[in-house]
């Protein structure tokens, strides 16, 4: 790296998954693993709810992002989040991402919208169709899509459980051949 070049960080803002919910989520992944399909599963330690993906950012802007997060989360106290339902993006014909959803009354949607307004002031693009979800796998081949659809149908109304959201994390993502490695840059506590 040249002396005048700034280091960039691949980063995102997220809510971490409560470890108590991992076993029932692994059960859902297990249902997909019984199919004859090519799916790359998200390891439990990497599961999270993304509030904003920033991409590659200069280290300099971390303080600005942190200030925006602190400004918004002071209006939020910890809240319950229910994980339920199973689905896919973009749709059942072209399945690329397998996910578990959240209850429609969750505060996470309002939190994300308010954060997004602040991030737009910093020059980040506004999220168009934000849908909070927990990615559990990425489909790598269209082979045997019907089997994937059957598992989605079986789990479409599943109730995984609930967790208390009491912090938001600004994370660094380092891409490796084995998969991404996430580490916290900043942690913001909800009162």
Chain segment 18-33, per-residue pLDDT in tens: 999 999 999 999 999 9
Please indicate whether residue 133 is annotated as part of the active site.
yes
Q: CA 52: distance to chain centroid?
A: 9
Q: What are phi and psi of 20, to 5 degrees?
A: -65, -20
Pairing assessment for the beta strands 134-139 and 159-165 based on DSSP bridges: unpaired
pTM as predicted: 0.91
Q: Catalytic residue among 14, 48, 98, 124, which?
A: 48
Query: Quick check: helix, strand or coil at residue 145?
Result: helix
Q: Where are the domains of the chain?
A: 15-189
Question: For this structure, is 48 an active site residue?
Answer: yes
In this structure, what DSSP letter does residue 61 have?
G
Domain at 15-189, CATH from 3.40.50.300, 1.10.3720.10, 3.90.1140.10, 3.90.550.10: 3.90.1140.10
Active-site residue, selected from the candidate residues 37, 133, 137, 171: 133
- Predicted confidence band at 3 (pLDDT cuts at 50, 70, 90)? very low
């Amino acid at each position: 790296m040249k002396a005048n070049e700034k280091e960039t960080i691949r980063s995102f803002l997220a809510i971490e998954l409560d470890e108590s919910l991992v076993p029932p989520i692994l059960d859902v992944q297990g249902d997909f693993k019984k199919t004859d399909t090519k799916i790359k599963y998200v390891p439990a330690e990497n599961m999270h709810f993304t509030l904003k993906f920033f991409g590659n950012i200069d280290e300099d802007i971390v303080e600005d992002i942190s200030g925006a997060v602190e400004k918004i989360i002071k209006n939020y106290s910890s809240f319950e989040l229910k994980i339920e339902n199973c689905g896919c993006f973009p749709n059942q014909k072209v399945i690329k991402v397998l996910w578990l959803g959240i209850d429609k009354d969750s505060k996470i949607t309002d939190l994300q919208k308010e954060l997004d307004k602040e991030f737009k002031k910093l020059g980040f693009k506004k999220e168009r169709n934000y849908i909070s979800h927990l990615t559990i796998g990425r489909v790598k081949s269209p082979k045997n899509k019907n089997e994937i659809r059957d598992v989605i149908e079986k789990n479409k109304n599943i109730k995984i459980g609930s967790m208390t959201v009491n912090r938001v994390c600004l994370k660094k993502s380092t891409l490796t051949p084995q998969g991404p490695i996430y580490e916290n840059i900043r942690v913001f506590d909800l009162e």
